[in-house]
Amino acid sequence: MRRAPALRSADAESGRALDHRIEYGIWGEMAERERRALLRRRPLTTPWRHLLEAARSEHGRLARPDEARALGRPG
């Protein structure tokens, strides 16, 4: 699945902030509180960009069947 450049850029910026443990400001699509929560749950994860991209892809893959059912189409 191809992703929009803006989404890839957001994952890259969020990942960079997580990799460098930047505590303040909004980076990509993540606020300070979201980054701190992720860092507490996964303190040894690096690089973050790959994990964020995989999670976004998995979320999109899982969301599509629900959307199809909601529209009355077979999923």
| pLDDT tens digits, 1-44 | 455 555 667 788 888 888 988 878 888 888 899 889 989 999 99
**b/e code 12-32 from CB counts within 10 Å (16+ = b):** bbbbebbeeeeeeeebbebee
Residue 60 has pLDDT above 70, yes or no: yes
Query: Domain residue spans in the chain?
Result: 5-70
pLDDT of residue 1: 47
pTM, two decimal places: 0.61
